[in-house]
Amino acid sequence: MIGDHYLIWVTTDEILCGNIGAMQDKPSVVVTRRMPEAVHARLLRDYRVVPNEDDHAFSAEELISAARDAQADALLICATDPMDADVIAALPDSVKTIATFAVGVDNIDLAAAKARGIVVANTPDVLTDACADIAMLLTLAAARRAYEGDQMVRTGAWVGWRPTQLLGRDLQRKRLGIFGMGRIGRAYAKRAKAFGMKIHYCNRSRLDRRSEGGAIFHQDIEEMLPLCEFFSINAPATPETKGFLNAERIARLPEGSIVVNIARGDLINDEALIAALKSGHVAAAGLDVFAGEPDIHPGYRELPNVFLMPHAGSATIETRDRMGLACIDAFDAFFSGRPVPTQVA
């Protein structure tokens, strides 16, 4: 973007071959953040791309302005982009489809999009393993006091080995409660089971025996919480789950429990969790997502018993490539008149 003008990329080959007319026939796509190289290359090949030149987070006004100026046919957005009913209502009629570079769609008013006839697609399946790996990283880091150890070494506070230094918690034979046993929850459970953990889960419905993999189902979350020496939030963000882990539910966790969150920050009441971390009722936490990110609750930064990650669950080269290409696959299907396999609205 230069001033109030958005650039539309034209490749050198198109200019040399005199294919400007052909380029104009390609659908126009507003891309709200810089994409991985492989994704960007395919977008340039098949679409007229309206990029976000400096890769800043679009405001609602900027997103609407970009779509209007380009008379965009499609939007490739991210989980951080506001797409509520007001934004969708303000989009030009040219916008026919939206693909989000994410699995979660809590930032999109799906009903408003459907009412306008806008097809919305997400990126399921492709980021399951990467997110489950981060969940396991957070579990291990919280249990073994990784942040404290890292700081000790970096600051020169480490003066040598001693028997009582940085004593953490074993994972073996510990009960792990998973709230939300979808694709990522199941992949995480498989990893945790390999570490010798005993898996319990609460889900909207019970899984079949094969999918359960020996995990114990709880219909009632209040019943499961007192069993959870480790507790992981893997549920989607909905109006019903907002603020789910509040003071009352934290109090039901065993003394010295460990909390992990890779879902959405809004599922945790920050004040309640910070108080529990300070008191020791929750011994440690591993968090990859936060309410209001990147402006997280400052209380987390002051706590040594929290391992923090910057919403990096899907942040591998391979996974981010697959996510972007899945978005383009959705556009290809839509503009060719085929069903969009990842359509959510």
Catalytic residues: 264, 293, 311
Entry field: residues in the chain: 345
Residues 215 and 198: their CA atoms lie apart, in Å, by 7
Residues 130 and 280: their CA atoms lie apart, in Å, by 30
Q: How far apart are CA 310 and CA 141, in angstroms?
A: 15
User: Measured between alpha carbons, how far is 293 from 311 in angstroms, rounded to an integer?
Assistant: 9
- The full DSSP string for 184-251 is HHHHHHHHHHHTTPEEEEE-SSPPPHHHHTTPEEES-HHHHGGG-SEEEE-PPP-TTTTT-B-HHHHH
Report residue 248 as tokens: 């009352």
Listed in sequence order, the residues at least 6 apart from 238 whose beta carbon sits closer than 8 Å to its beta carbon are 106
Q: Which of 306, 299, 311, 310 is nearest to 282 (CA)?
A: 306
DSSP assignments along 59-112, one per residue: PHHHHHHHHHHHT-SEEEE-TTS-B-HHHHHHS-TT--EEEESSS--TTB-HHH
What is the spatial order of strands in the sheet that 306-308 belongs to?
Answer: 216-218, 198-202, 175-179, 230-233, 257-261, 282-287, 306-308
Give the span between the Cα atoms of 190 and 194, in whole angstroms.
6
Report the C-alpha dihedral over residues 285, 287, 293, 294, rounded to 10 degrees: 90
